[in-house]
Structure 1
Amino acid sequence: MQRFSSKMWRRTGLDRHISDTQIWQQPLKKRPATASMLFLSILIAAVLTFSSWINPSSFSVTNVTENRTSAKRIEIPLSCSAGNLTQTCPVNYPASFETEDHDPSLNSSCPDYFRWIHEDLRPFKSTGITRDMVERAKRTAHFRVVIVKGRIYVEKYKKSIQTRDVFTLWGILQLLRRYPGRLPDLEMMFDCNDRPVIRSRDYRGPNATAPPPLFRYCGDRWNLDIVFPDWSFWGWAEIKIKPWESILKELKEGNSRKKWMAREPYAYWKGNPSVARTRRDLLKCNVSDKQDWNARLFVQAQAIGKAASDFIQQELKMDYVYDYMFHLLNEYAKLLKFKPEVPDKAVEFCSETMACPADGIEKRFMMESLVKGPSITSPCTIPPPYDPQALGPLSREKLIQWSKWRHWREATGIVLINRNKCTLRLCLPVSLKSELDKLVLMILSDRYLKKK
């Protein structure tokens, strides 16, 4: 971090008295120079003797020069050329930035879901990650990201759906603006599609090869894909979903405008029913004269809604999104068994080369989510891995609760949209209100980010 030093000279009380007080002196008759010199010598000796008796601690202001350093937040605007046709990256962005917290171990702990970073990387702990493993992940990847000496290089293989690749890369660039010089050299393959493809069953047995490390937005217990934050944290231009920081602010303002009990008791879902067959069940829950109860949300939903709202405001804020990325990439880089190199076909990316030539809503979202400058604090402290023995009972308990959930779903019309996603529709009669929030939270709390 850039620091500024403020040096303040502080005078003793005696010094202040002598310099700030005007002393009237009676005119003296002219005397010999020797007498004047003798008098001056006696005066200096007296002052020095008197000053040795002074206890500096008795003064509120001491004769000490103090070097005080405090954090100075800096902003680094984009450097766009005339006509916004910037094709090169600036070289003056800070390569490092000292934070104000000199002992990062004293920082607050990251949310508990950061533990899943360890679980996602566990399949690679025993073998490490070789170049061959990374190259095998290229089969379905949309692009390769290489970070060398704090600069990003991208090798593209195919276009993703909509602008998923664009805003994912934009998010990684913002991470480097936030923590310059804090990410190690690395190479990673990224798949922008939804469904995981690295099936764990394909890498079991005595003759099985090590799985390829592939980053994507989704993961589950049956696959080994490494989960990375969704592109829409920086905006989803095609359907005009703003960057997450703006959404959080609007959610907070909206919640303050109208109290929960003053609202109409309906929930609304918006999405594409053709994405998954189970989503079509949502259309059956539309309000009608014949079935009104199954579109209403009962009192338990208030507790669920408040818990969810508190969670996203406190534990899914952008600070933690960036810290999750930071720790994930750092832990991943520790496993690499080779030296990352920039491919011949890779192109250097930076915020300027992406945002300056952009236009329309894409440019607006980029500017809205632009990290203004380096963070003056270090990332949160990642919690330790889960105890493997503790994960077993947790999984068994969740399977039991999942079985109960399926029974309730068939009996009452509750719809859980896609087993790998956390989208929930409640169609409950009054008779089944009890324990609903406990059941739902037990099912959905684990790996919240991973089953989005």
Structure 2
Amino acid sequence: MVLSRKSNRSLRNHCLARISVVWCIFILFGLLAFSTTWHLVSDKFRVISETKTIAGDNLEPTPWHHFPRKSFSSSGYARASQIFQCYLTCTSPLGLIRSYIGTNVPIENSTRSCPAFFQWIHEDLAPWKSRGITVADVRAAKEFAAFRVVIVGCRLYLDLYYDCVQSRMMFTVWGLLQLLDRYPGMVPDVDIMFDCMDRPKIQRSKYRKPNSSPPPLFRYCSNTNHFDIPFPDWSFWGWPEVNLGPWDEEFKSIKEGSKAVKWTDRKPIAYWKGNPYVASPLRTKLLECNSSSTWGAEILQQNWIEEANAGYEQSKLANQCKNRFKIYTEGFAWSVSFKYILSCDSPVLVATLEYYDFFTRGLMPQENYWPVRSKNLCPSIKFAVDWGNSHPAEAQSIGKGGQRYMQQLKMDNVYDYMFHLLSEYSKLQKFRPQVPDTAQEVCKRSVLCLADPKDKVFLERSTPKTATHSQPCFLDRPNRNLFKQWTEKKTMVIKDIENMETMAQTQKTENIPQDNRVADRNRRMQNSNSEDVAPPKKKKKNSRTKRKEEMPRGKEVEVKPGSKRTTENKDRN
């Protein structure tokens, strides 16, 4: 019995020891697994937390246009978790099905012709027509780009480099996603670089050699000195920071607002309201024209911080059609305000333009707007106001012409312009677009997931309530004669108006009363006499010169004895 008890106790101890070893091994494996998992999760969290997003996460502002870096309400694990969940939304079965649709859907012939200004698509892409666009060309544009857009199989991928001010990037990409939904299977594969700041970058002067090819860069505006390709700006889908809704909503509201007061009952002066402090000498100069009696203009400064606090009650565009004339001046570059100003049926006085966006080159002076000279801004505005008030029928026709032009710029045509621009661009690509390793897929669900509550409301407002799958308009072939005719006509009309203005100012000067002229001359003489400068001495004439001047022309004159008889030659005088 004793041996049996010892044996049992020994066996029990042995079993406990083995169990302890097993537990220790199990715990060690558990700790190892937990540690490995923790490191994996930590690494994954770090990767996700450092992920660049369309909302501006982990992106520095563009070096060529500084602005404060964005901050977010959530941070750390909460923000990383949100980013991860948002990007998972693009892997839905619907998105996978769309990727297999391809881009070989045949485009039926449309019976609707595109507006005439669509012809500028051919002109903007002309620098690459002969040589084409290579991968090297696209990569060369990275130096000037904020992000890269790659569309492959009707799915959109973003490679982010820098952040854009406010919500520009988000609403621009949202417009591209809306385009993919509008024309499913029809948008071709493209690889484009995009900059979302104001001024163009690709200078024409640097690419004058025959074999040089400028890097293709998309942006919101350009000018005659640059190769940048104009693309519809973000505000067509909304601008939450200044409480502007989608373009269709805003145009409808402004047009209705223009009916509140008849043109003849409006204030007979020109009106401008905006931000003059945008590094624009022209807008600073415009402040000097703020006199309804002297220059016929009312110039108001816009304080967006105060407007936001007041609920934007004083900045509603529909309430700004109460003057007979409106004024447009460029800001730091072009300004998105142009389309809203043109939407009133008041003639728009447009200061000399340096930049253009995708639609403004189709505007014709004296049909859609009235040009004023930047170098003589205030008098030029005064002349335009006086002319319009004395020619009410013609002035109203110009105002209606501007509004009609903007009415044709409905969102249907905005999407069609985007479609044809990308389609013509794709024809120039000498490569098949591939998704970069650093790019991430973006879809409408992921954008809405990343957007803050206010931006989300504006994004959803720009989404069509009913699906539209109509065919895009028909784009005519390039017509070089049309560009020449437009340019010559614009130049001629602007020159005629400048001549009218110069003639009116000359007549105004000539019609000054004689008494005023005499008084003005006397005042100038007094000012000159008051200067401490000795008057020049008169030269003393000798007697011979004096006698010659007293001689009658063409007659013989006797002189003193001993002198010669002299005959004046008529030809000498």
* Same fold (TM > 0.5): yes
**Residue 312 of structure 1: aligned partner:** 406
Task: From 147, 171, 178, give the equivalent of 1:143.
Answer: 147
The Cα offsets for residues 403-430 of structure 1, whole Å up to 9 and x where unpaired, read as 55666778989xxxxxxxxxxxxxx9xx
- SS of the residue 1:104 aligns to: coil
Q: 1:393 to 1:244 in 2, by over 3 A?
A: closer
C-alpha separation in 2, matches of 1:117 and 1:213: 13
Q: 1:412 to 1:270 in 2, by over 3 A?
A: farther
C-alpha separation in 2, matches of 1:250 and 1:229: 21
Contact 2:107 2:186 in 1 (8 A): no
Identical aligned pairs, as a percentage? 44
C-alpha separation in 2, matches of 1:308 and 1:402: 16
Q: 1:258 to 1:288 in 2, by over 3 A?
A: closer
Contact 2:269 2:292 in 1 (8 A): no
Task: From 265, 268, 272, give the equivalent of 2:271.
Answer: 268
**Residue 241 of structure 1: aligned partner:** 244
The Cα offsets for residues 149-200 of structure 1, whole Å up to 9 and x where unpaired, read as 1100001110112221111111111111111111111100001122111122
Please report the TM-score for the alignment, with normalisation by the length of structure 2. 0.53
Q: CA deviation at 1:365?
A: 0.9
Contact 1:154 1:349 in 2 (8 A): yes
**Residue 568 of structure 2: aligned partner:** none
Contact 2:270 2:296 in 1 (8 A): no
**Residue 420 of structure 1: aligned partner:** none
Contact 1:177 1:373 in 2 (8 A): no
Contact 1:178 1:371 in 2 (8 A): no
Structure 1 position 120 matched with structure 2 position 124: yes
**Residue 86 of structure 1: aligned partner:** 86
Q: 1:87 to 1:261 in 2, by over 3 A?
A: same
Structure 1 position 223 matched with structure 2 position 226: yes
Q: Tell me the C-alpha RMSD between the 2 structures.
A: 3.1
Counterpart residue identity of residue 214, structure 1 = L
C-alpha separation in 1, matches of 2:156 and 2:175: 12
- Give the alignment of 1:388-427 within 5 angstroms: 388-392=480-484, 394-403=486-495
**Residue 304 of structure 2: aligned partner:** none
- SS of the residue 1:92 aligns to: helix
- Give the alignment of 1:14-413 within 5 angstroms: 86-88=86-88, 89=90, 90-92=92-94, 95=98, 104-206=108-210, 208-275=211-278, 276-292=280-296, 294=382, 298=389, 299=392, 300-313=394-407, 315-372=408-465, 374-386=467-479, 388-392=480-484, 394-403=486-495
Q: CA deviation at 1:272?
A: 2.3
C-alpha separation in 2, matches of 1:376 and 1:149: 18
C-alpha separation in 2, matches of 1:235 and 1:245: 10
Please report the TM-score for the alignment, with normalisation by the length of structure 1. 0.66
The Cα offsets for residues 307-346 of structure 1, whole Å up to 9 and x where unpaired, read as 1111111x10000000000110011111111111111111
Q: CA deviation at 1:220?
A: 2.1
Q: 1:232 to 1:257 in 2, by over 3 A?
A: same
- SS of the residue 1:198 aligns to: coil
The Cα offsets for residues 359-378 of structure 1, whole Å up to 9 and x where unpaired, read as 33311110100134642311
The Cα offsets for residues 111-136 of structure 1, whole Å up to 9 and x where unpaired, read as 01111111111111101100000001
C-alpha separation in 1, matches of 2:504 and 2:142: 45
Q: CA deviation at 1:148?
A: 0.8
**Residue 338 of structure 2: aligned partner:** none
C-alpha separation in 2, matches of 1:239 and 1:103: 39
Q: CA deviation at 1:261?
A: 2.3
Structure number with greater CO (CA < 8 Å, separation at least 6) is 1
Q: 1:247 to 1:106 in 2, by over 3 A?
A: same
Counterpart residue identity of residue 263, structure 2 = W
Q: 1:339 to 1:376 in 2, by over 3 A?
A: closer
Q: 1:281 to 1:135 in 2, by over 3 A?
A: same
Contact 1:179 1:374 in 2 (8 A): no
C-alpha separation in 2, matches of 1:170 and 1:409: 46
C-alpha separation in 2, matches of 1:238 and 1:410: 42
Q: CA deviation at 1:289?
A: 5.0
Q: 1:347 to 1:240 in 2, by over 3 A?
A: same
Q: 1:183 to 1:289 in 2, by over 3 A?
A: closer
- SS of the residue 1:189 aligns to: strand
Q: 1:290 to 1:112 in 2, by over 3 A?
A: closer
Q: 1:151 to 1:302 in 2, by over 3 A?
A: same
Q: CA deviation at 1:283?
A: 1.0
Q: 1:261 to 1:226 in 2, by over 3 A?
A: same
Any stretches of 5+ residues in structure 2 without a counterpart? 1-80, 298-381, 512-573
C-alpha separation in 2, matches of 1:301 and 1:163: 38
Q: CA deviation at 1:83?
A: 9.0
Q: CA deviation at 1:146?
A: 0.5
More helix by percentage: 2
Q: 1:374 to 1:149 in 2, by over 3 A?
A: farther
Counterpart residue identity of residue 87, structure 2 = Q
C-alpha separation in 2, matches of 1:408 and 1:284: 23
C-alpha separation in 1, matches of 2:136 and 2:418: 24
Q: 1:250 to 1:199 in 2, by over 3 A?
A: same
C-alpha separation in 2, matches of 1:243 and 1:198: 30
Any stretches of 5+ residues in structure 1 without a counterpart? 1-81, 414-427, 432-452
Q: 1:239 to 1:195 in 2, by over 3 A?
A: same
C-alpha separation in 1, matches of 2:138 and 2:226: 17
Q: CA deviation at 1:227?
A: 1.0
C-alpha separation in 1, matches of 2:187 and 2:180: 7
Contact 2:87 2:442 in 1 (8 A): no
C-alpha separation in 1, matches of 2:497 and 2:271: 22
- SS of the residue 2:268 aligns to: coil
C-alpha separation in 1, matches of 2:197 and 2:442: 22
